[in-house]
Amino acid sequence: MFLQKFLNTITRYELLKPKEKIVVAVSGGPDSVALTHILVSLGKNYNLRLHPAHLNHLLRGEEAEADASFVRSLSQQLGLDLTIEEIDVAQVAKKDGLSIQQAARKVRYDFLTRVAEKIGAKRIALGHHLDDQVETILMRLIRGCGPEGLAGIPPRRKMADDLILVRPLIEITSAEIKEYLKENKLPYRIDSSNLKRDYLRNKIRLDVLPMLLNLNPNFKQTLLRISSLWERDDKYLEEAAEEHLGRLKKEKEGSLDLSEFNPLPSAIKSRIIRRLLNTIINNHVEFSFQHVEDVLLMAEFGPAQGRLELPGGVIVKKEYNVLRGELRKKKGEEKKSFHYSFFPGDRVELQEIGKALETNILSNPPFRISKDRSMVYLDLEQIKPPLLVRNFCPGDRFTPLGMKGTKKVKDFFIDLKILQEQRDQTPIILDRKGIIWVAPYQISDRVKVTTKTKDVLLASLEVTT
C-alpha cells in the first residue's frame, strides 16, 4: 500500500526521472529516513543517484549533534555520499530581522540549493507528508491567508530554471510512514522541539487537529478534498497572473506599471502581488491575506507616494504610477549624505552618489543654451561665493527659472514626479544667498544669463561610476 501510493504520487506529478541526481534533505526524523530508504529501494529501477544533505541549525545543542551523527551513519550504511553543514540560525534571524522559523526556512533552502548546484542535481527531495499538508492549510487559515493558501504545499515546485523541489510523500500519512519504518526495522530520530507548544504548527498538531478529528474523523480527507478542488482553480488563476506579471513588469526588477495593474480583477491582482513579494524575498516568508490587501489598497487608493513595511524586511513603495518592492537597506546602505564647500572654477567629487560637479569660469564667452540639462550657464556676477553642494534638505526653497516668487524644492520635485530615491541623490548647489541650481533639473532665476552678463560660470554634473 505504501509503495503503491508513493509510485502513484511520483507518476501523477512527474516527480522523478531515471538517471537523475537527487539531493535528499535528511534530518534524521521518520519522514526523511523513510524517503531516503524508499528512494534507495527504487534506485535499481530508476537508476537514481542520491546525495543526502543534512543541516545543523545550531539550535538544539547535543541533540542536534546526535542527529548529524545519525545521518552520517545512515548514509555510510546506504553507501551514499553526504553533505553536512552547520549554520547559526539564531544569528541569521537577528541579522536579517526574521523569526527563528523564517530564518530556518531561509537557510535550509539556501543550503539545499547550494548542494544541488555543487553536485549538478536537478531535483531536491523533501519528506513533507499528508499530515504536514493538513497542518499547513490550517496554519495558513489561522494566520489569515488569501484563498490561494488553501492550495497547500505543492508536490513539486520550480526553484530555478533547471532545479525542481519535489515531495514524493505528500499523499502519505504520518501513520503510514511510521508503519513502513516499523516493517523495515528502520531507526530514526525524534526532534524534541516538535513536542513543544512554542510554535503554531506544534499547537495545531498537538491540540487543534485532535479536537477537529474528534468532531469529524474524516476531517483530514475533507480538508484535502476542498484543497484539491481549489487547487484546480488556483492553477488557472496563477497562470493568468504570471502572464499579466510578465506584461506589467517595469524595466527595474520588482516594479509594476499601475496604470495597467489597477484595472485587473482582484483575484489576479492579489496573485501578482504575492509573486512580486516572493520574488523579492525568495519565498522565505509567507505573506498573509491582510499584507496583500494592504498593498492592493495602497496601489489603487493610496497617495501618489506611499510606503508599506512588511515581514522579512520587505518594503513596498508606490511612486506615482509605479509600484516597487525591495528589501530594507541594511545599516550603512541608507541615504548617503554629502556636504562640500568650493569656489567657482573648482571640481568636486561627489563619491557618495557616483557623480562629480565641474565648474569653469568663462569670460565674454560665445556660448549658447545647451539642451543637456546636466550642463548650465550661470551669471558669475550674481553668484556670491563660497559655494556649497549638498543633499536636499526639508524646507529648501528657490526661485525656478522664469518665476517671480520662491517655491519649495519638495513641491518642485513633486511637480516633476521625482522619486524619493532620486531626491536623496540630487545635488543642491548654493551660494551665500541661497540655492542657485537643483542639479540637473533647474537653475535659480537669480543667476540666469542675460544680455548684460559678462562672465559666466559653466557648471556641469558628470557621472563617474
Predicted pLDDT of residue 192: 82
449 and 404 within one domain:
yes
344 and 314 within one domain:
no
268 and 198 within one domain:
no
195 CB-side CA count, 13 A:
3
207 and 119 within one domain:
yes
Residues 192/202, Cβ–Cβ less than 8 Å:
no
* Residue 107, in any domain of the structure: yes
Strand partners, 341: 388
pLDDT by residue for the chain (465 residues), tens digit each?
788 999 999 999 999 988 899 999 999 999 999 999 999 988 777 889 999 999 999 999 999 999 999 999 999 999 999 999 999 999 988 887 778 888 898 899 999 999 999 999 999 999 999 999 999 999 888 876 666 667 788 899 988 778 999 999 999 999 999 999 999 999 999 988 877 787 788 899 999 999 999 999 999 999 988 888 888 888 888 889 888 887 877 545 568 889 899 999 988 998 899 888 877 765 556 677 788 888 999 898 887 878 888 877 788 888 888 888 887 765 555 567 888 889 999 999 998 888 999 999 988 665 555 666 788 999 999 999 989 999 888 889 999 999 989 999 999 998 888 887 788 889 999 998 999 999 999 999 999 988 888 889 999 999 886
* Residue 165, in any domain of the structure: yes
In the block, residue with C-alpha cell 544541488? 116
The 10 Å Cβ neighbour count of residue 138 is 20
Residues 280/254, Cβ–Cβ less than 8 Å:
yes
* Residue 188, in any domain of the structure: yes
The answer to whether the peptide bond before residue 440 is cis (omega within 30 degrees of 0) is yes
**Phi, psi (rounded to 5 degrees) for 219:** -55, -40
In the block, residue with C-alpha cell 485532535? 210
352 and 272 within one domain:
no
304 and 354 within one domain:
no
119 and 42 within one domain:
yes
Predicted pLDDT of residue 330: 58
10 and 133 within one domain:
yes
Domain's final residue, options 208, 223, 238? 223
Number of H helices, E strands in the chain: 15, 21
208 and 60 within one domain:
yes
Domain's final residue, options 188, 223, 258? 223
Strand partners, 84: 54
| DSSP one-letter code for 51 | E
Predicted pLDDT of residue 264: 94
H or E element, residue 428: strand 428-431
Predicted pLDDT of residue 147: 66
* Residue 309, in any domain of the structure: yes
Displacement of CA 414 from its chain's centroid (Å) = 29
Query: How far apart are alpha carbons 281 and 253 in whole angstroms?
Result: 13
* Residue 244, in any domain of the structure: no
375 and 272 within one domain:
no
Domain's final residue, options 278, 300, 327? 327
- Find the DSSP H helices in 28-129: 30-46, 61-78, 89-96, 100-119
Owning domain of residue 91: 2-223
Domain CATH code at residue 398: 3.50.40.10
In the block, residue with C-alpha cell 549624505? 337
**Phi, psi (rounded to 5 degrees) for 251:** -60, -40
* Residue 236, in any domain of the structure: no
Domain CATH code at residue 9: 3.40.50.620
* Residue 232, in any domain of the structure: no
Using DSSP's 3-state secondary structure scheme, residue 24 falls into: strand
What cell numbers appear for 436 in the block?
A: 542657485
* Residue 240, in any domain of the structure: no
209 and 269 within one domain:
no
58 and 154 within one domain:
yes
Report the number of distinct structural domains present in the chain. 3
The 10 Å Cβ neighbour count of residue 433 is 12
Query: How far apart are alpha carbons 389 and 438 in whole angstroms?
Result: 10
Sort 398 into a burial class: Cβ within 10 Å, 0-12 / 13-18 / 19+.
buried
H or E element, residue 222: helix 219-248
Domain CATH code at residue 272: 3.30.465.60
